[in-house]
Amino acid sequence: MIDLYMWGTANGLRASVALAESGLEHRIHKVDLTKGEQKKPEFLARNPAGQIPVMVDADGAGGARLVLAQSGAIVLYVAEKSGKFLPKDGARRAAAQQWFMMGASDIAGTSGTLFLLENLAPEKSAKNAEFFKDRLVKMFSLLEQRLSGREFVADELSIADLMLYPNYSLRKPLLDASGSFANLNRWGAMMAARPGVQKGMNP
Ligand SMILES: N[C@@H](CCC(=O)N[C@@H](CS)C(=O)NCC(=O)O)C(=O)O
């Protein structure tokens, strides 16, 4: 049994969507960030960083209990354990890894920085927030180009789609206000219609 400790942010939802799509048996435990539950001793024992998501697999590597933080690492673990989301074809797998990393570093990093700038930074700056919004929209424009003529980012459901979808979904209002993203929105609607994605996005 896999236990996922999460909250409904892009990082948390990435892990719950990957688990729901995988078909692996799992349970969701909400960690209410608004109440500071991520800083309680029992949570810090699982992740000293005090951040969601954290996954605990009672039947981890070698049958031993495995505790894992970092949403990208959880997606990769779920992919390996389920045998899904890592294309067998070498070219597709390389593309999936490229866009997975682009999502993890560029898009998730910039989106997270924007959230911090707008909500938690000690000095608020509308100009700085605009700067990072512009960078984020340009990154999604690259994904818009990539999805031209493609159903999935790496031509089959992969770690790349699982990494990118929650950030796309939560930043859709920004994208809608920033231009035309026909390919991205077609992909987003297709992802949103998947039962596993629906389950994972509504934990
Ligand atoms: N790179 C990490 C980021 C994790 C992260 O930033 N988690 C946030 C929520 S999205 C968190 O738990 N913040 C609470 C805090 O820092 O107190 C991942 O992908 O898992």
Backbone angles phi, psi at 78, to 5 degrees: -60, -40
CATH of the domain at 152: 1.20.1050.10
Q: What confidence score (pLDDT) does residue 174 get?
A: 98
Same-domain check for residues 76 and 129? no
104 and 183 share one domain: yes
Distance CA 61, CA 69 (A): 15
| Residue 199 forms part of a structural domain | no
CA 89 to ligand 1 center in whole angstroms: 32
Residue 123: inside a domain: yes
If you average pLDDT over residues 30-51, what whole number do you get? 98
Q: Domain for residue 72, yes or no? A: yes
Q: Given this model, what pLDDT does residue 197 score?
A: 98
How far, in Å, CA of 70 to CA of 110, rounded? 16
Distance 149 CA to ligand 1 centre (A): 34
Domain finish residue from 53, 82, 111: 82
In tens, the pLDDT along 85-99 reads 999 999 999 999 999
Question: What pTM did the predictor assign?
Answer: 0.97
| Number of domains comprising the chain | 2
Q: Are residues 78 and 101 in the same domain?
A: no
Do 31 and 67 have their domain in common? yes
Ligand 1 atom nearest to CA at 52: 12
Matching residue, tokens 């067998």: 88
pLDDT per residue over 62-118, tens digit each?
A: 999 999 999 999 999 999 999 999 999 999 999 999 999 999 999 999 999 999 999
Q: Does residue 179 share a domain with residue 102?
A: yes
Alpha-carbon distance 84 to 76, whole Å? 10
On whether both 76 and 101 belong to a single domain, the answer is: no
Query: Ligand 1 pocket check: which of 11, 47, 110, 119 to mutate, most ligand atoms within 8 Å of Cβ?
Result: 11
Residue 160: give the domain boundaries.
Answer: 90-194
